[in-house]
Amino acid sequence: MQTAAPAASTGSAGAKCTTPAHAAPLSKCPSSASLDSSPASDADGSALASATLCEQASSEKVANTHSREIAFIDLSPAELDVGGALGGRAAETIECLRVNRCRMDGHSFAVLVDALCRMELPNLHTVDVSQNHIGGAQAGAALAKLLSHARAVRALSLGWNRLALADLGAIATSSAGPHNIRHLDLRANPLAAPSQKRDQRKGAHVGGGGGVCSDAWIAELARSMPQLTHLLLAQATINDNTLVALLHALASQVPQLEYIGLEWLGLGGRLATVRSIMSQLAPANLAARPLPLHLNLASNNLGDSGVKIIAESGAMLSSLTLACNFITERGTGILAEWLPASGLTGLELSDNHFGDQGVSSLLATDGRRVSTDSPYTTLTSLGLNSCCLGDASLRMLTDALDCNWASLASLRILRNGRISRGARIPL
């Protein structure tokens, strides 16, 4: 078996966190595992990492009779000619529409939608209009019109635009009924901005402390997407009350929900909101769930206090991402106490520089609950990339796995420069 030493660590325990990097899981064989340093995407959401929902195409790509995609990249709104982009293809064959960095505002987006609605699009399943200037009530109405016309749309990427959450109210009130959206990307949108029309009718959101907002339209929005599985809100600007209300509506009414991405929301400074968010994911508030739920809270500066709130919340999660949150050995000790009863199968702690002491705290066990018949924890995936680990951590992990601490199928410990070259963990 080929082995490779881990790449150099990206920082020390006091260094500033960087964006968590995805890494390949530890490759396995019957006797040992190697520390594979080849770049790859990690199991925690490789399908979600790109800013768009369609595969990136070459700049030289042209429409042809075999392509099932319409793509406009770096054009002006005046150059968006859907009919010309089709070429000789039938509209019925198009499966993906991608319009990125074309400076579309609400009006030009509505014009594009009008053109699309003059075509039959029974197979259009992915709409990616990220990285534009789309926003306002006109944009919301255009979205509702498009989804009512192209009923097969399952993936909707609206990231890096100017949408307020209230702009999506038109989707909820559409006469076409529930939509088939499964993946909704709202990253880096000013979701807290009020919709002018809705503001005049109902007023701005009120309340404090992160309590559940009572606006019925948020519940209507959740009911209009009963098949939603992935919600991406990273880097969005959103009012705490509205965020909690949205998660409450989705958790209680959308049983298919599998992934909630809340990265880069600055929640570390608003721990009361973190407590409210986690309470919405407690079993009493969740719809009957046929699928596991993954919560991504990376890069929120939660610290050990945030970890304690999560551990005490009683939230029902299958996997949790806490990468780049300034967690110390105290926080990993809190996780160690919580893990046996948590039911977690995946835990991502990369880019928290807690070092060997943090691993020691994480692997601590309550001797009364250790059993040779079943693993001490339910974890099958653990991420410890860039955590300032050394050889001592490898020895502790080896001993813990020998003692049935967990049945890990994936262990990621790349970019820990204090680990000796060629080190291995027998599995």
pLDDT digits (tens, 9 = 90+) for 303-342: 999 999 999 999 999 999 999 999 999 999 999 999 999 9
pLDDT digits (tens, 9 = 90+) for 401-425: 998 999 999 999 999 989 988 888 7
Residue 104 has pLDDT above 50, yes or no: yes
Residue 53 · residue 71 · CB < 8 Å:
no
Residue 81 has pLDDT above 90, yes or no: yes
Mean residue pLDDT of the chain comes to 82
Q: How far apart are CA 335 and CA 347, in angstroms?
A: 10
Cβ count near 144 (within 10 Å): 22
pLDDT digits (tens, 9 = 90+) for 219-248: 999 999 999 999 999 999 999 999 999 999
The token duo for 423 is 């080190």
Average pLDDT for 120-132: 97
Q: How far apart are CA 349 and CA 232, in angstroms?
A: 20
Strand order in the sheet with 424-425: 27-28, 33-34, 424-425
**pTM of the shown model:** 0.81
Residue 223 · residue 253 · CB < 8 Å:
yes
Q: For 283, list phi and psi in degrees, rounded to 5.
A: -55, -35
Residue 423 · residue 391 · CB < 8 Å:
yes
Q: For 285, list phi and psi in degrees, rounded to 5.
A: -105, -5
Please report the pLDDT score of residue 176 as a whole number. Answer: 77
Residue 24 has pLDDT above 70, yes or no: no
Q: How far apart are CA 85 and CA 62, in angstroms?
A: 9
Q: How far apart are CA 350 and CA 405, in angstroms?
A: 19
Residue 84 · residue 113 · CB < 8 Å:
no
Please report the pLDDT score of residue 46 as a whole number. Answer: 41
- Measured CA to CA in angstroms, residue 115 lies from 134, 306, 330 at distances of 17, 48, 58
Please report the pLDDT score of residue 164 as a whole number. Answer: 94
Residue 71 · residue 57 · CB < 8 Å:
yes
pLDDT digits (tens, 9 = 90+) for 339-361: 999 999 999 999 999 999 999 99
